[in-house]
Amino acid sequence: MRSLDDKQVARYRDALDRTLDYSRARGYGGHNKHDGLNSPLLSTVLGFARWPRIVAIQFVMRSPWNLRSLLGVPRTRNAKGQALFAQAWLDRFAAGYGADCREQAQGLLDWLLDHPSTGFRGLSWGYPYPWQDVGFFAPTYFPNRVVTCWIGFAFAEAARLTGEPRYVEALPRIADFLLGEPNRVIDNDDHLCLTYVPDREVGVAVIDVPALCGAFLAECAEILDRPDLLDSARRLMAWVADKQTEYGAWFYTHPPSDSFITHDNYHTAIILDCFDRYARASGDPTFDEAYRQGLRFYRDHHFTSEGAPRWMHDGQNATDLPFDIHGSASAVLCFTRASRSDESYWPLALRTLDWTLDNMYHPEGRFYYQKTRFGTKRFCLLRWCNGWMSWALSQVLREGTTEQEDPAIFEGAS
């Protein structure tokens, strides 16, 4: 039975209230994991080429201390973070906590509508800092499909729960960006793969990108009654399913040699969630076995016995540390979603949530970034830490205290 006892409800609700209060008091803005090039010093000294930029970002990201203020990195509102906090407020609204929760979510969603990326078709968003990946460089606010999909999920949920026309109308515009801007790694009758950023020079295939796009387009097709979007969604998910290993995992990129990341925790969880989103929105069972096999690999290889989220597993070796807060949140979200069809995953969601509250949470309402072999990085990167964990907490409370049904499509949404 997926439920929470009174003690669990009190603990999780208190943590969620404190986390949202802490984040709201800071205007939902803060430092970000990859924002090293927002430092005027590092941007001037190392911002001129690919590998120096990577050095700058990795130096700030891997430091045991948060050097961002010392280096002049400003606190910013991250568009993806706004969507994550909006999801938490929408969950609270759906669980019956009142109109204030709806108003809080709408404030964040309306901010997103007022702050899209410019110069591209449809609606899209990027990061508030320049970002150098191994395969591409994205200037500040240059849109990408990952950020845009996460924001799209928040608008889809708002459309389902409220039917507000401005949120419904955002969905086809987001789909227009995802499908209309370049670049397509593959596009045929069976498979479709889109790149992370809309740049014709980029050919790197990051596997969770088509998964996110496929899941969003399936939800968009359901809400808008757009079967043309469902065909694209099916081909995107088919490409992702085709890249699953024989033991049930996914690499970060295809081919795997394009990245040092093998099977990491939170990208695995994201891909799994996308298969579940696609199946629920489309009613198509084609990829159910890929989803179940992936869940088993994730469950069996990516966690310690206490529920701590192992960083990475490549099919042969496991790397426990660092325990990253994004891994915690993604695990809670993934197992909570999986428990809708298999209740054996519910206690796994609660096990990881309890471990996280015991090990990576400060009662003033902030979650720590990482636990490493050298100690705990106790600073809070607001989107990475509080954004993800507020949504994880709200999902558990929504699932464990309300009727176990997905929200109905709002009658006026089409």
Summarize the confidence of residues 345-373 as an average pLDDT. Answer: 98
Summarize the confidence of residues 213-221 as an average pLDDT. Answer: 98
- Render pLDDT for 169-200 as a digit per residue (tens, 0 to 9): 999 999 999 999 999 999 999 999 999 999 98
pLDDT > 60? residue 300: yes
Q: Say how far apart CA 156 and CA 159 lie, in whole Å.
A: 5
- Render pLDDT for 218-268 as a digit per residue (tens, 0 to 9): 999 999 999 999 999 999 999 999 999 999 999 999 999 999 999 999 999
What pLDDT was estimated at residue 403?
63
Summarize the confidence of residues 4-8 as an average pLDDT. Answer: 97
Question: Which pair of structure tokens corresponds to residue 276?
Answer: 């579940």
What pLDDT was estimated at residue 316?
64
What pLDDT was estimated at residue 38?
98
What pLDDT was estimated at residue 49?
97
What pLDDT was estimated at residue 254?
96
- Render pLDDT for 27-79 as a digit per residue (tens, 0 to 9): 999 999 999 999 999 999 999 999 999 999 999 999 999 999 999 999 999 99
Domain with CATH 1.50.10.20 in the chain: 15-35+76-401
DSSP state of 367: E
Given the candidates 1.10.10.10, 3.90.380.10, 1.50.10.20, 1.25.40.10, the CATH classification of the domain at 15-35+76-401 is 1.50.10.20
- Render pLDDT for 304-344 as a digit per residue (tens, 0 to 9): 999 999 999 876 677 899 999 999 999 999 999 999 999 99
What pLDDT was estimated at residue 410?
36
What pLDDT was estimated at residue 348?
98
Residue 141: CB atoms within 10 Å: 18
What pLDDT was estimated at residue 202?
87
- Render pLDDT for 194-209 as a digit per residue (tens, 0 to 9): 999 999 888 889 999 9
Summarize the confidence of residues 392-412 as an average pLDDT. Answer: 71
Angle at 82 between CA 80 and CA 85, to 5 degrees: 110
Q: Whole-number mean pLDDT of the chain? A: 95
What pLDDT was estimated at residue 197?
96
Q: Say how far apart CA 25 and CA 62 lie, in whole Å.
A: 27
What pLDDT was estimated at residue 135?
84
What pLDDT was estimated at residue 55?
97
Of 275, 315, 277, which Cα lies nearest the Cα of 295?
275
- Render pLDDT for 69-113 as a digit per residue (tens, 0 to 9): 999 999 999 999 999 999 999 999 999 999 999 999 999 999 999
Q: Say how far apart CA 247 and CA 229 lie, in whole Å.
A: 31
Q: Say how far apart CA 207 and CA 290 lie, in whole Å.
A: 14
pLDDT > 50? residue 408: no
What pLDDT was estimated at residue 250?
97
Distance of CA 316 to the CA centre of its chain: 26
CB-based contact 184:191 (threshold 8 Å): no
Angle at 53 between CA 50 and CA 57, to 5 degrees: 135
Q: Say how far apart CA 68 and CA 36 lie, in whole Å.
A: 7
Q: Are strands 131-132 and 323-324 parallel, antiparallel or unpaired?
A: unpaired
pLDDT > 70? residue 116: yes
Question: Which pair of structure tokens corresponds to residue 279?
Answer: 């199946």
Share of the chain above pLDDT 90, in %: 93
